[in-house]
Amino acid sequence: MAGGRPTHRVTAADVARALGISRATVGYVLNNTPGQTISAATRERVLAEAARQGYRPHRAAQALASGRSMIILLVLPDWPVGHSLQRSLEESTQLLDDAGYSLVAHVRHEGGRARPLWESLNPDAVIGWTPITAEERASMRAVGITRILPTDQEERTFLASPTLTAGARAQVEHLHALGHRRIAFAASADPRVALMSEGRAAAAQETAARLGLAPMDVRPVDPRDGGALEAVRDWHRSGVTGVVAHQDDIALALMTAALRSGLSVPDDLSVIGHDDSPFAELLFPSMSSVRLDYAGLSRYFADLALRLAEDRPLPETAPDFQATVVPRESTGAPRQVRAPGR
What mean pLDDT do residues 145-170 have? 73
| 43 against 68, higher pLDDT | 43
In order of their start, the domains of the chain are 12-57 (1.10.260.40), 66-157 (3.40.50.2300), 163-288+327-337 (3.40.50.2300)
| Peptide bond before residue 313 is cis, with ω within 30 degrees of 0 | no
Q: Please tell me the distance from the alpha carbon of residue 279 to that of residue 288, in angstroms, as a whole number.
A: 11
pLDDT 10s digits, 212-233? 999 999 999 998 888 899 999 9
Lowest mean pLDDT across 31-35, 91-95, 243-247, 284-288: 31-35
Please tell me the predicted confidence (pLDDT) of residue 37: 79
Please tell me the predicted confidence (pLDDT) of residue 231: 96
Residue count of the chain: 342
Q: What is the mean pLDDT of the chain?
A: 85
The pLDDT of residue 178 is above 80: yes
Share of the chain above pLDDT 70, in %: 87
* Maximum average pLDDT range among 161-175, 233-247, 283-297: 233-247
Please tell me the predicted confidence (pLDDT) of residue 8: 67
**DSSP assignments along 103-130, one per residue:** EEEEE--TT--SPPHHHHH--SEEEESS
Please tell me the predicted confidence (pLDDT) of residue 264: 96
| 159 against 315, higher pLDDT | 315
CA–CA–CA angle 222, 223, 229 (5° rounding): 90
Please tell me the predicted confidence (pLDDT) of residue 64: 46
Please tell me the predicted confidence (pLDDT) of residue 152: 65
